Amino acid sequence: MHLSTASVQSQATTKKLIQSGWDMPTPKFFREHIKQMEQRPFDGVIIKLNAGKEVFKKKPYPDTVFTQDRKDLAAIKSSKLANNFIVMWSAIEEGWDWFNDDDWAAAEKNIQNFAKSAKAGRFKGIAFDLEPYGYTPWHYEVQPQHDNKTFQEYQRQVRKRGARFMRVLQTTQPQTEVLTLGLFSWMKALLAETTDPAKLQQKLVNDKYGLWPAFVNGMLDAARPGSVIIDGNEGAYYFYRAAWFAGMRDLIRKDARAFVDPANRKKYDNQVKIGQAVYMDLVLDLFEKPANNAKNAWYGMRMPHFLSPNDRLQLLEHNIYHALKNTDKYAWVWGERMDWWQNRIPKGAEDVIRRAKAKIQKGKPLGFDIDVATTKALNKCKAINSEC
């Protein structure tokens, strides 16, 4: 079916670019610097509450720690930055257990307070980072009762908690949006091995994220009409081919359904949306040189390290363009060695982001081919490091 130019542009205007990173603002900073923040090329931000980022704790945060945040959030009014989320980490406190009702009651109180804070700011919802920065809730083998409860028992319990998680969010915001930084795109390594549900079930027992699909199915169990769960595809951090963004759409829409209970597949098809990510530090090669730690050494041997500065900017434009083109609504950028709100922005980065957005909004092609440059850079990288 041929779409008119007006139709293409209408669809493009629904695409939103969200900012996140180490410069993540607090509600107070957002309120006090809103005019400055509106000058940047974003349609929304992910913020952090002063209370913290974790919710799976053995004791809830006191209600009072949310008071000032909510006052600041309620005072924020922006037609430009209108697609905002509050970050929530999935890490658990040591000893926290899915089967402990007191532990869950503390978590539920925290989830409720995060949701109320999002509502105070008229935010879209929660940005849920499933990567545990500390003790993990998703690896069966390290759960407190894994010696006397089976993996299947944990799956059933985690699914119940996932449903409750979604219900608590929806009690405050009946049509909420949960931006997961990765839903089943996070499980793409397993899906590369098999899409047979029975075989996947066997592999999940030993997988570090083996309990995550149960939690997602719980969320789907409870998802009301109008609520949305977004697969943010954090794995797109490492993309430099247009086809990879489109290919991940296929994985999320088709292969990933193997993780979904058949009873939830209609909800999955209708209420799970596709997001895309861009990692600015990697694309622009912003890591310290010479590398002084293992992480920087590894990233410093990635392909963008061997591109010229101009080609890196073109790669950023390429990735922003294809992230937006291949998302249902949200693409998001992550940055570490920069600060968008304190004017520490890599030279040229803001211009190419604006250019990529404008092309999407006008239904125009990207207009250049980055593949030749990235292929040459990749060959240089592989000559030094086979893992490139």
Q: Give this prediction's pTM.
A: 0.93
Tell me the pLDDT tens digit for each residue of 104-153. 999 999 999 999 999 999 999 999 999 999 899 999 999 999 999 999 99
Tell me the pLDDT tens digit for each residue of 152-193. 999 999 999 999 999 999 999 999 999 999 999 999 999 999
CB atoms within 10 A of CB 372: 9
What residues does each domain of the chain span?
A: 5-384
Distance, in Å, from the CA atom of 259 to the CA atom of 349, rounded to the nearest integer, reads 38
| DSSP helix/strand/coil, 246 | helix
What is the pLDDT, as a whole number, of residue 296?
A: 59
Longest dimension (CA), the chain: 61
What is the pLDDT, as a whole number, of residue 288?
A: 74
- The answer, yes or no, to whether residue 90 has pLDDT greater than 70, is yes
What is the SS3 assignment for 69-107?
HHHHHHHCCCCCCCCCEEEEEEEECCCCCCCCHHHHHHH
Helix residue ranges, H only, the chain = 5-12, 27-32, 34-37, 67-75, 101-120, 151-172, 188-193, 197-204, 212-222, 242-253, 265-271, 280-283, 294-300, 309-325, 349-361, 371-384
- The answer, yes or no, to whether residue 21 has pLDDT greater than 60, is yes
Question: What is the pLDDT confidence band of residue 328, given thresholds at 50, 70 and 90?
Answer: very high
What is the pLDDT, as a whole number, of residue 1?
A: 42
Six-digit token pair at 248?
Answer: 């991940």
Could you give the angle at the alpha carbon of 48 between the alpha carbons of 279 and 52, nearest 5°?
A: 120
Question: What is the pLDDT confidence band of residue 6, given thresholds at 50, 70 and 90?
Answer: very low
Instruction: Give percent above pLDDT 70 in the chain.
Output: 93
What is the pLDDT, as a whole number, of residue 299?
A: 67
Mean pLDDT value across residues 11-40: 93
Closest CA to 322 of 257, 367, 268: 367
What is the pLDDT, as a whole number, of residue 294?
A: 58
Residue with tokens 């990933």: 256
| DSSP helix/strand/coil, 330 | strand
Task: Please answer whether residues 235 and 278 qualify as being in contact, where contact means their C-beta atoms are separated by less than 8 angstroms.
Answer: no
Instruction: Give percent above pLDDT 90 in the chain.
Output: 89
CB atoms within 10 A of CB 241: 15
**CATH class of domain segment(s) 5-384:** alpha beta
What is the pLDDT, as a whole number, of residue 197?
A: 94
The angle, 0 to 180 degrees and rounded to 10, between the axes of the packed helices 349-361 and 5-12 is: 130
- The answer, yes or no, to whether residue 383 has pLDDT greater than 80, is yes
Distance, in Å, from the CA atom of 301 to the CA atom of 130, rounded to the nearest integer, reads 27
